[in-house]
């Protein structure tokens, strides 16, 4: 009886144990099933892609960047092949160990490797990180020798950027750099590897959409440690298109050589088309430094240079034009009939206005002068008197009609508009009334008047063209393929309503500036052609306390066109703190004009075929209303002194 009761009790305990065990088994199998379902259904695509990447990977291939040529087919920016050292982070188990090994084998500091890895967080999965660029052959050999000891290591062949002429035309060409974090947000760069070089300034930036091309892809098979075994499929990248600029490398070199180590700017234009022949801003920089990234000490030396080598003085810096502006005042006087060409004014060396005496640059005075002699000898007193009678609003009207005080719309970023002041401007910006004494300073290009060298070159082209304005341009054509070009014809910005007789009188006087006795620019004469021009010496507003030195000298200007009877080139030269325009700037303009008229020493085959040349007959001019000065220009302007 007791035995039966024991068996029944033991049987009940065993049954319960089996039930509990069955429940545990069910729960375990349930968890396992749910886990398998999560892996296969929820995370299936992710793990399938990860598994596939352990065998097959799709690698982006950077496109070759388009070449930039000058107008005669000389490369200004070209392609260059080099070797790079890369790491694929997903194939590395211990990044710190790999960084230490690279320091031991390749002499690459571990901190540098880890920094490059940390900076690559925005890259796509399995996208290689570039650790070192432009490897030497010795470095390539060392990397190949240790490739199988270092996880994720590879040596890649890159097609990068090269600027064969160094700092020549650096502000015009600009430079390239890796895609920035802000650019990565732009969907235009979605398909590009994060270390792709794209245009960051100048022509490289303006034409980047065309120059950078379209990336390709390579489908490769890799082994378990990520080493490439073979290529399965390739979609070739689409190279960027080539660009032909209007720049004449021969004229550019002559201009840069003539300016030398002085800070300043030179702009030369084709008077009939507005094509930029030379675009100089000194000091410059070597854009090759940006291709592989420059050392910190080099960057610090350039960025802290007091002469600001990254500043584009040709189109992004504005200066008082000095006596070059007297051309505007003379045109306004003739057009309004406020004065006739034969009317004379006596210059005793100063002009008394109210209680203030405005001095002429020639302290002994020019004696009795008419308009012709006033321009030839740059008599300040003549233009003080004329400006006072005209009033600032009239002077401003003609300055703007000739293109000053507004952007030229050249294909470059961040162009300054300069400033042509009037009564309304001063009341709006300065909250002050205009004083008539300020008109005297403005009439000789001082005071609040500001212009860029590019504007002055464009202005001189309009004077040469009887007031017809052509838009400055730097792009001559785009080479789509071996036989296809997009050619850009001249664009006209309308014509200033100025009588031909007025322009004839002005051109005659400007020729006298160079070729007549007493002219302020005799140093611009050349046996190759007649030259018409105007010197300017713009007073520098105090740059701080202390005495003397180059930085306290006046800016030197000279603006010209040649030949006088059939103008082909207009030039503006500005030498910062250069002193007098006649001695510092005029000889530079002569060198530029002679280089253009002589042409290149060796003629190369034209880049643009004859059948693609623009039509000889230009389109009819269209009116263009000058834009308002930017607030930055308006607020930076300040009163100046007399034209020395």
d(CA 165, CA 169): 9
Does the pLDDT value for residue 524 go beyond 60? yes
HSE-CB for 236 with a 13 A CA cutoff: 4
Contact (Cβ atoms closer than 8 angstroms) between residue 128 and residue 86: yes
How far apart, in Å, do the first and last CA atoms of the chain sit? 135
pLDDT band at 617 (very low <50, low <70, confident <90, very high): very low
Q: Which two tokens stand for residue 295?
A: 């050392």
Q: What is the pLDDT of residue 224?
A: 61
- Count of residues making up the chain: 644
Check residue 194 and give its pLDDT: 81
Task: Give the chain's mean pLDDT.
Answer: 85
Strand boundaries in 5-128, DSSP class E: 56-61, 68-69, 75-87
Distance between CA atoms of residues 269 and 290, nearest Å: 29
C-alpha 136/C-alpha 497 separation (Å) is 63
Q: Three-state DSSP class for 583?
A: helix
Alpha-carbon 129 to chain mean position: 29
* pLDDT at residue 68 greater than cutoff 80: yes
C-beta of residue 442 within 8 angstroms of C-beta of residue 383: no
Of 182 and 350, the structure prediction assigns the larger pLDDT to 350
State which of 31-45, 52-66, 172-186 shows the largest mean pLDDT: 172-186
**Domains in the chain, start-ordered, CATH in brackets?**
56-245 (3.90.1310.10), 260-274+315-636 (3.40.710.10)
pLDDT at 321 over 50: yes
**pLDDT (average), residues 49-77:** 82
Concerning whether 323 is annotated as a catalytic residue, the answer is yes
Torsion angles phi and psi, residue 532, rounded to 5: -115, 135
For residue 608 the two structure tokens come to 């643009």
pLDDT band at 86 (very low <50, low <70, confident <90, very high): confident
Q: How far is CA 46 from CA 39, 41, 237, 641, in A?
A: 9, 10, 28, 73
Residue 356's region, left for phi above 0, alpha for psi from -120 to 50, else beta, is beta
The yes-or-no verdict on residue 15 having pLDDT over 90 is no
Lowest average pLDDT, out of 115-119, 282-286, 484-488, 497-501, goes to 484-488
- Alpha-carbon distance 579 to 589, whole Å? 16
Residue 510 has pLDDT above 60, yes or no: yes
Is the pLDDT higher at 156 or at 620? 156
- Per-residue confidence band for 357, with pLDDT thresholds at 50, 70 and 90: very high
Burial label for 525, CB within 10 Å (0-12, 13-18, 19+), is middle
Task: Return the number of other C-beta atoms located less than 10 Å from residue 103's C-beta.
Answer: 15
pLDDT bracket for residue 432 (50, 70, 90): very high
> Shortest CA distance to 406 belongs to which of 496, 474, 518?
496
Bridge partners (DSSP) of residue 159 are: 81
3-state secondary structure of 169: coil
Q: What is the pLDDT of residue 638?
A: 39
pLDDT at 639 (0 to 100): 37
Question: Which pLDDT band holds residue 292 (cuts at 50, 70, 90)?
Answer: confident
Q: For residue range 151-193, what is the model confidence (pLDDT) as tens digits?
A: 888 888 888 899 999 999 999 999 999 888 888 888 888 888 8
DSSP assignments along 80-110, one per residue: EEEEEEEE-GGG-S-HHHHHHHHHHHH---H
Q: What is the band of 521 on the pLDDT scale with cuts at 50, 70, 90?
A: very high
Give residues with Cβ within 8 angstroms of 200, minimum separation 6. Answer: 174, 175, 176, 177, 180, 290
Instruction: For residues 446 and 435, give the distance between their C-alpha atoms in angstroms, rounded to a whole number.
Output: 14
- Rounded CA-CA distance 220/242 in Å is 30
- 578 pLDDT above the threshold of 80: yes
pLDDT of 258 higher than 90: yes
Taking residues 429-457, report their average pLDDT.
96
Q: How far is Cα 80 from Cα 62, in angstroms, rounded to an integer?
A: 13
Residues near 196 by beta carbon (within 8 Å), at least 6 away in sequence:
62, 178, 179, 189, 212, 215
Least confident of 7-16, 161-170, 231-240, 414-423: 7-16
- Active-site residue among 170, 315, 323, 378? 323
DSSP β-ladder status, 242-245 and 68-69: parallel
More confidently predicted of 619 and 289: 289
| 302-313 pLDDT per residue, tens | 889 998 999 999
Q: What is the predicted pLDDT for the residue at 273?
A: 95
Q: What is the pLDDT of residue 112?
A: 85
Q: Are strands 356-359 and 484-487 parallel, antiparallel or unpaired?
A: unpaired
- Report pLDDT digits (tens) over 25-37: 777 777 877 777 7
Q: CA nearest 227: which of 143, 328, 141, 150?
A: 150
What H or E segment, with its residue span, contains residue 232? strand 228-235
Tell how far CA 83 is from the center of its chain. Answer: 28
Q: Which of 131-135, 272-276, 390-394, 542-546 has the weakest average pLDDT?
A: 542-546
pLDDT digits (tens, 9 = 90+) for 219-231: 877 766 566 677 7
Q: Please tell me the predicted confidence (pLDDT) of residue 236.
A: 86
Residue with tokens 């003629």: 603
Q: How confident is the model at residue 48 (pLDDT cuts 50, 70, 90)?
A: low
- Are the beta carbons of 269 and 458 closer than 8 angstroms? yes
How is residue 71 written in tokens?
């107008």
pLDDT of residue 489: 80
Q: In this predicted structure, what is the pLDDT of residue 541?
A: 58
Q: Beta partners for 198?
A: 177
Contacts of residue 325, Cβ cutoff 8 Å, sequence gap at least 6: 399, 442, 443, 444, 445, 449, 451, 536
| 398, two tokens | 């003609």
Residue 133: Cβ within 10 Å count: 17
pLDDT digits (tens, 9 = 90+) for 92-139: 888 888 888 888 888 888 888 888 888 777 677 777 888 888 888 888
Task: List pLDDT tens digits, range 473-483.
Answer: 999 999 877 66
User: How many whole angstroms separate alpha carbon 42 and alpha carbon 40?
Assistant: 6
DSSP 3-state of 467: coil
The yes-or-no verdict on residue 611 having pLDDT over 80 is no
Alpha helices in 378-416 (DSSP H): 380-390, 392-401
Tell me which residue of 376, 365, 370 sits closest to 344, measured CA to CA.
Answer: 370
Q: How far apart are CA 504 and CA 531, in angstroms?
A: 14
pLDDT at residue 628, as a whole number? 34
CA 369 to chain centroid, in Å, comes to 44
CA 557 to chain centroid, in Å, comes to 23
Q: pTM of the prediction? A: 0.81
């Amino acid at each position: 009886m007791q035995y039966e009761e024991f068996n029944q009790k033991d049987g009940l305990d065993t049954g319960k144990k089996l039930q509990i065990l069955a429940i545990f088994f069910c729960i375990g199998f349930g968890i396992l099933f749910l886990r398998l379902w999560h892996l296969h259904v929820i995370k299936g695509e992710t793990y399938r892609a990860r598994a596939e990447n352990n065998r097959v990977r799709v690698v982006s291939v950077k496109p070759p960047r388009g070449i930039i040529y000058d107008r005669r087919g000389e490369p200004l920016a070209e392609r260059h092949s080099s070797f790079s050292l890369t790491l694929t982070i997903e194939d590395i188990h211990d990044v710190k160990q790999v960084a230490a090994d690279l320091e031991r084998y390749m002499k690459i500091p571990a901190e540098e490797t880890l920094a490059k890895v940390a900076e690559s967080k925005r890259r796509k999965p399995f996208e290689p990180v570039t650790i070192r660029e432009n490897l030497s052959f010795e470095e390539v050999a060392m990397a190949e020798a240790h490739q199988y000891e270092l996880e994720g290591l590879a040596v890649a062949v890159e097609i990068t950027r090269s600027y064969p002429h160094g700092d020549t035309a650096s502000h015009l060409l600009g430079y390239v750099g890796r895609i920035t974090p802000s650019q990565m947000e732009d969907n235009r760069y979605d398909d590009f590897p994060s270390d792709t070089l794209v245009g960051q300034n100048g022509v490289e930036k303006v034409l980047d959409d065309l120059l950078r091309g379209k990336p390709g892809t390579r489908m490769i098979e890799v082994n378990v440690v990520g080493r490439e075994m073979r290529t399965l499929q390739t979609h070739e990248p689409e190279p960027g298109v080539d660009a032909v600029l209007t720049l004449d490398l021969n004229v550019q070199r002559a201009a840069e050589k003539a300016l030398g180590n002085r800070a300043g700017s030179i702009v030369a234009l084709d008077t009939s088309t507005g094509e930029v022949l030379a675009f100089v801003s000194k000091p410059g920089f070597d854009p090759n430094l940006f291709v592989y990234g420059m050392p910190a000490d080099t960057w610090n030396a350039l960025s802290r240079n007091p002469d600001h080598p990254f500043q584009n003085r040709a189109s992004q810096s504005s200066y008082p034009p000095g006596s070059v502006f007297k051309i505007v005042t003379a045109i306004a006087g003739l057009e309004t009939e406020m004065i006739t060409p034969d009317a004379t004014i006596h210059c005793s060396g100063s002009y008394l206005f109210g209680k203030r005496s405005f001095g002429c640059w020639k302290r002994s005075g020019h004696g009795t002068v008419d308009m012709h002699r006033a321009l030839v000898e740059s008599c300040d007193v003549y233009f003080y008197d004329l400006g006072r009678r005209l009033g600032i609003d009239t002077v401003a009207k003609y300055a703007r009609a000739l293109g000053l005080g507004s952007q030229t719309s050249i294909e470059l970023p961040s162009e300054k508009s300069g400033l042509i002041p009037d009564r309304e401007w001063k009341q709006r910006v300065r909250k002050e009334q205009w004083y008539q004494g300020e008109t005297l300073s403005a009439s000789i290009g001082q005071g609040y008047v500001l212009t860029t060298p590019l504007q002055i070159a464009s202005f001189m082209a309009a004077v040469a063209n009887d007031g017809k304005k052509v838009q400055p341009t730097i792009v001559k054509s785009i080479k789509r393929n071996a036989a296809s070009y997009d050619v850009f014809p001249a664009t006209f910005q309308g014509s200033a309503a100025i009588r031909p007789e007025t322009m004839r009188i002005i051109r005659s006087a400007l020729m006298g500036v160079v070729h007549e006795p007493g002219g302020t620019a005799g140093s611009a004469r050349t046996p190759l052609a007649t030259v018409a021009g105007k010197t300017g010496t713009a007073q520098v507003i105090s740059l701080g306390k202390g005495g003397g030195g180059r930085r306290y000298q006046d800016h030197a200007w000279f603006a010209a066109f040649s030949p006088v009877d059939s103008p082909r080139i207009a030039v503006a030269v500005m030498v910062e703190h250069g002193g007098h325009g006649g001695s510092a700037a005029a000889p530079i303009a002569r060198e530029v004009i002679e280089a253009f008229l002589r042409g290149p020493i060796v003629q190369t085959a034209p880049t643009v075929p004859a059948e693609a040349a623009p039509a000889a007959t230009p389109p009819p001019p269209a009116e263009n209303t000058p834009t308002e000065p930017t607030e930055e220009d308006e607020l930076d302007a300040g009163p100046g002194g007399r034209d020395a």
